[in-house]
Copies of this chain bind each other. A is one copy, B any other.
Amino acid sequence: MTNIFQCLPKHLDEEVFETLLQKGDLKVERIISKGHASPTTGWYDQVQDEWVMVLQGEAIITLKDDKDYALGSGDYMTIPAHTKHKVTWTIPEKETIWLAIHY
């Protein structure tokens, strides 16, 4: 048994992506951000659907051709494959912990 809020990485110069589970096309990740955002130019364009939830912290996800979504603890959304998106902001004062399911 493991706790998703524990054993946070000490160094967060970059966002940290950890695979919790992988089987076939399924990948479940813990992502830890601390003030990080996506590069200011360009968008993520993923080949798989992604279901993402903020477990702790605060973040803003921007979908291209859509709008900004402000997420706090417990907020989740689906980002369909090839929906261009980026993380515009995460709160700098503490770690934002995400659970992401790629499927």
Chain B residue with the shortest CB-CB distance to A3:
B74
| Choice from B3, B51, B75, B77 contacting A28 with Cβ under 8 Å | B51
Chain B contacts of A51 at CB under 8 A? 20-21, 28
For the complex, what is the distance from the CA of A41 to the CA of B2, rounded to whole Å?
28
**A32 interface residue (CB < 8 Å to B):** no
Given the interface pairs A28-B51, A28-B101, A103-B23, the reply to whether A71 lies near B1 with Cβ below 8 Å is yes
Chain A interface mostly helix, strand, loop or mixed? strand
For the complex, what is the distance from the CA of A6 to the CA of B76, rounded to whole Å?
11
A: contact size bracket: 20 to 34
**A26 interface residue (CB < 8 Å to B):** yes
Q: Measuring CB to CB, which residues of chain A are less than 8 angstroms from any residue of chain B?
A: 1-6, 20-21, 23, 26, 28, 49, 51, 53, 55, 69, 71-78, 99, 101, 103
